[in-house]
Structure 1
């Protein structure tokens, strides 16, 4: 039952964090993935290296699309759309000046070169410990450079959304509701993670469809394990509660759930006993009747 409670509370906590100042997002976990499938997990993050964000033409197109989304959401009038376009033109001018600044251009060039070197190093992981340490230091430096470069862009984007939302009249806000963030492929991953963990945990605690719930929980734990495996030579998981070698709590709980999925304990108690236990009882009654007829 410990595994079922763990799955349930992990999922519920993530759901309850939505709408708070620190909502759950799988982006950080995916972005910092390590191990043999690291790039596969990282690629689940849209524009994981922010190369599109650092492309002025792509950024302006993204802002244009966002303006259309906001205008459609609030049903802006022509005057409001004109005012929103004026706001966008102001921010675009700031962005153009920033991209044209020689210092910014040099930082972007250095970032791209460092990123290329890092990806080359990751394709052939070094065997020596000091080389692995240098590679990890390079990862940290590249990520710091990326964050520094995208920080002003993220600030401008947040400013745009706030100023556009301020143009909406009270009746438009009441009709359309609050403006949420733009849809992202990560939304689906976050939803599957949050609600999948919760449902698997609830089903296991209730003893409902126990084998399927156990397999689902084991699948989640396997993904958590393989995205940041405790293998020698890999950087440690910053969220790990200890230091592990090959075996961590995710692997242990995954194996426990696989054992649970292969045993008929769901027919001993819980909802499965009520729904499916009659099958076993009916077979036992038939066997008893057949034995009684044979004895007679």
Structure 2
């Protein structure tokens, strides 16, 4: 080290120490704030930041999320498996029985039942069900238990309910005891109302597998030349095609006009994504809200269900703890140079995710940057701190250095 470094004015030393502590406090507070949100209903995540990455490393940063275009939200099997994992973690976290959750996810395993107090003389409800032409086993009447039961999987369609009521009312018109049919009609309406509420997995299947506008239609039609496929492209396939076109144009974009066009295309792409993914996310939120209603106050105090291990969870954890640890070490002046280099490396990742470079898509912001932004300035400041012994000027490094010097000093 050149000898003139020992002649650094005390004011400069003090300002460099204050700079180190200030950056340390900034990193520490950011890390602690992000960690604190993990116990709330809206935990912090770097997912949005990574998905909106720009620049030459855009693809690498976006792929870190594991699902940069939210396509897993549009796949029934992926979502169903995700909910199964959530169910297991919910049961383990809160120590509750799985029965109530299974009923939410898959409906009632024993179906939906009501008791019919008494049937009118000469009226056979089982025969009425058969006469209505309702699907086999969809609805049954047990004369021994006097229970009218609808299958938990098949449910009862509104058209089937209407047909059954029509058969019952026809029998009522021909009977002398017309009032005796009122409890039967009420029982049919009551059990149909119970059955009308689909389980969450059934609602998911209806959304992701049964909606023709969303998933498209493929039909076979006969023409003069034989069989032909009639295809209606669904919204999901259209969204995937939008992604493909955007990525192709992004790779070729160079001029401001092309970037402006891509920005409009990206806006349209995100609108399509929200329209497709939003309802599925809302359905999942409703599932989580309904599940929370089965918990007591002590269970709710345990906080939210731990997330499933995923690439995003690891990135979030590394970012939050990296900010917290590097910030704390910089503040107290322990392993100062190593922590400054570590903090600079973390900031470099933030910078490279959205670099303000010429020829790179500009991110909408209240600031206007070219090459240099606040993240880069803070990163350079940390590298400057790493090049100077500021921890030995003020911090735990100074205490450790003094102790080592005392031990090594000859007696």
Q: TM above 0.5, one fold?
A: yes
Q: How does 1:217-228 map to 2 (within 5 A)?
A: 217-228=343-354
Deviates more, 1:18-27 or 1:245-254: 18-27
Task: Please report the TM-score for the alignment, with normalisation by the length of structure 1.
Answer: 0.83
**TM value normalised by structure 2:** 0.61
For residues 24 and 68 of structure 1, do their structure 2 counterparts lie closer, same or farther at Cα, with a shift above 3 Å needed? closer
Q: Which runs of 5+ in 1 are unaligned?
A: 290-296
- Report the equivalent of 1:145: 272
Per-residue deviation, 1:195: 2.5
**SS state of the match for residue 53, structure 1?**
helix
Q: Name the CA distance, whole Å, in 2 between partners of 1:16 and 1:164.
A: 23
CA distance in 2, matches of 1:78, 1:204: 47
CA distance in 2, matches of 1:78, 1:270: 53
Unaligned runs of 5+ in 2: 1-18, 109-197, 216-233
1:194-252: CA deviation from partner (whole Å, max 9, x where unpaired) = 222122122112111100110111011101111110012323334x5521111112112
3-state SS of paired residue (2:360): coil
Write out aligned runs for 1:54-203 (5 A).
Answer: 54-77=74-97, 79-80=99-100, 82-87=102-107, 90-99=199-208, 100-105=210-215, 106-122=234-250, 124-168=251-295, 170=296, 173=299, 177-183=302-308, 184-203=310-329
Cα distance change of structure 1 residues 32 and 254 upon mapping to structure 2, 3 Å threshold = same
Structure (1 or 2) with the larger CA radius of gyration: 2
CA contact (8 A) 2:93 2:305 kept: no
Q: Which has the higher contact order (CA 8 A, sep 6+)?
A: 1
CA contact (8 A) 2:55 2:360 kept: yes
Q: Distance in 1 between matches of 2:294 and 2:86?
A: 15
The structure with more helix, counted as a fraction of residues: 1
Computed over aligned residues only, the root mean square deviation of the Cα atoms, in angstroms, reads 2.8
Once residues 281 and 64 of structure 2 are traced to their aligned partners in structure 1, the CA distance between those partners, rounded to angstroms, is 20
Contact 2:344 2:380 in 1 (8 A): yes
Of Structure 1 and Structure 2, the greater strand share is in 2
Q: How many residues align?
A: 282
Structure-1 residue corresponding to 2:334: 208
In structure 1, the residue corresponding to 2:369 is in which secondary structure?
A: coil
Separation (CA, whole Å) in 2 of partners of 1:171 and 1:264:
52
